Amino acid sequence: MKRIFVCLSVAAVAFGMWAQRAGGLAGNLTEYPYVEVAPPAQTPAPAGYEPFHMEHYGRHGSRWLIGENDYLTPVRNLEKAEKAGKLTPLGEKTLTALREIAEASKGRLGELSDKGALQHQAIGRRMAQNYPKIFNPTADIDAKSTVVIRCILSMLNGLEGIQQIAPGVNPTKDASYADMWFMNYDDKPAWPIKDAAEQSVVNPYKNRHQGDSSYLYRLVTDPQFARDSVAPGIMPYLYWVLGAAQGHSDQPWLLEEVFSQDELVENWKGGNAFWFIHSGDTPMTNHRMPYTQRKLLGRIIEQTDSAITSKRPSARLRYGHDGILVNLVTLMEIEDYGKEVTDLDQLEELNWRDYEIIPMAGNLQLVFYRRSGSTDPDDVLVKALLNEREVRLPGTPVSGPYYSWKELRKYYQDKLDDFEKRFAE
C-alpha cells in the first residue's frame, strides 16, 4: 500500500511541475494537462471486483474570458504608452497580440474555446476506454449540464468522446433550471461569510504579494510613465488575458515573456488564496464554505444507492463550474484539500494549489466496483480520480486507492447530518 501511494504522490508532484512549467501559475485558467498526453496509469482493482457505476462532476473546458473589459483594459492602458512612443519591442509585440485577441473575443465572451472542446472529448474517450463495463450499449448513462452554453457544449463534447470509443452508448442528456439545486447550488447564507473573509484576510494577503511591478519596465521604456499612466488598472487583466491564451490553439504564449517566474508566483498566490477562502475549511469562514456543495454530495450518495440496487451498469455525468467542483473536493476531503487552515501562509506547506483542482475541464470521477452479479451494498468499493489521477479519500483504503463505500457513505452522511444540526436552514 505504501508503494502505491508513493506512486500517487509522485504523480501529483509531476502534475504540479507540469502546471508551473506550462502555465499552471495562471490558476484556474490553466489548460487541462491530459489531452495529447496520457494521465498516470491506474491501479488494478482487487481480484474479483469490476466497475459498475460512475459519479462525475466536471468543469467546462477552456473558455474565453467572461467580461469585455477583461480584454479591453490592457489594450487601452498599453495604447497610452504607444501614443507616447514609449513601448519596448516586447511592449509592441504584446500590444499587437492583445489587440488581436480582443478582436477575436467579440461575440465569444464566456464561450467554450476550441481547446475546451478537445479537452472534454479526450476525457470522454478515456472514460470509455478505461471502463468498458460501464460505458456499453446496455448501460444507463445520464448526462446533465448547467444552463450555461460552455457547460452544455462541454457535455456534448464529452459524450462525443465516449461515443467515439463506445458508439453503442445511448446517453440521455439535459440542461435545465430544474436541476440547478444540485448542479449549481446557490447557498445564499454562505456568500456574505466568504465576502467578509475576502475583505479582511485575502485582500491584505494579496497586498503582501503584489511584486515590484518589474513587468511594466519590460513593456514600457519610461519607468515613471509606466507607473503613472500604464499601471493603474492594468492588473489583473493583463495577467488573465495572457494566462488564458493557453486555452486557445491560435493565441501566442507571452505570459512567461512579460512576467518573471517570481512575478507569476506572486500573482498566482493571490488567486489561490481567493479560491481557498471560497472553498476551504477554515475558521476564517466559520468552516462553512465546503458545505455549499452538500446538495451535490447528497445527490451523489442518493444516486449511488440506486445504482447499487440495479444489475445494470450506469453513470451520472455532470458538467458545470470550477466554483462547484472545488467545494465538492474540499467537502469530500480529497487528498489534503479538506484540511483545516488557520493562516493563508499555510497553503504553501499543504500544497493547496488551485490549478491542481480546477484547471479548465477539471473533473472528479468516483468509480464504484463490486463482485460480478452482486447487489450487496456492503461489498462495494470506490476509487476517486481527480483530473484522472488516483487520489486519497478519508479513512483507510481496502487496497491501494480503493475504499469501502459503506464506510465512506456513513462518514459523508454523518458529516452532512452534522451540518444540518449546526447550520439549520
Residue 57: its H or E element: strand 49-59
Residue 349 pLDDT level (bands cut at 50, 70, 90): confident
Rounded Cα distance, 386 and 374, in Å:
27
Q: How far apart are CA 12 and CA 41, in angstroms?
A: 12
User: pLDDT band for position 331 (50/70/90)?
Assistant: very high
Question: What 3-state DSSP class applies to 366?
Answer: strand
Q: Is residue 158 classed as helix, strand or coil in its secondary structure? A: helix
pLDDT value at 95 more than 80: yes
What one-letter code names the amino acid at 39?
P
Q: Quick one: which H or E segment has residue 58?
A: strand 49-59
| Mean local confidence (pLDDT), 14-34 | 71
**Quick one: DSSP state of residue 339?**
S
- Write down the pLDDT at residue 110: 98
Phi, psi dihedral angles at 176 (to 5 degrees): -145, 145
Pull the grid cell for residue 332.
469530500
Report the sign of the C-alpha dihedral through residues 310, 311, 312, 317, in that order.
Answer: positive
pLDDT digits (tens, 9 = 90+) for 257-276: 999 999 999 999 999 999 99
- Report how far residue 242's alpha carbon sits from residue 235's, in angstroms, rounded to the nearest whole number: 11
Does pLDDT of 212 surpass 90? no
In this structure, what are the phi and psi dihedrals at residue 292, rounded to the nearest 5 degrees?
Answer: -60, -20
pLDDT, residue 425, reads 52
Angle at the Cα of 156 from the Cα atoms of 123 and 307, rounded to 5 degrees: 70
Count the neighbouring beta carbons within 10 Å of the beta carbon of residue 310: 12
pLDDT tens-digit profile of 182-206? 999 999 999 999 999 999 999 999 9
pLDDT > 70 in the chain, percent = 94
In the prediction, which pLDDT does 424 show?
65
| Pairing status of strand 140-145 against strand 314-320 | parallel
> Would you state the pLDDT for residue 1?
31
Cα(228)–Cα(217) distance, rounded to whole angstroms? 12
| pLDDT at residue 9 in the model | 40
Q: Are 185 and 295 in contact (CB under 8 A)?
A: yes
Whole-number pLDDT of residue 13 = 43
Q: What pLDDT score does 148 carry?
A: 98
CB of 282 within 8 A of CB of 340? yes
pLDDT grade, residue 8 (50/70/90)? very low
DSSP-assigned beta bridge partners for residue 383? 367
Q: Is 364 helix (H, G, I), strand (E, B) or coil?
A: strand
- Cβ contacts of residue 106 below 8 Å, gap of 6+? none
Domains for the chain: give ranges and CATH numbers. Answer: 2-64+112-190+278-422 (3.40.50.1240), 68-110+192-261 (no CATH)
Exposure class string for 235-245: b at 16+ Cβ within 10 A, else e: bbbbbbbbbbb
Measured CA to CA, the distance from residue 186 to residue 270 in angstroms comes to 24
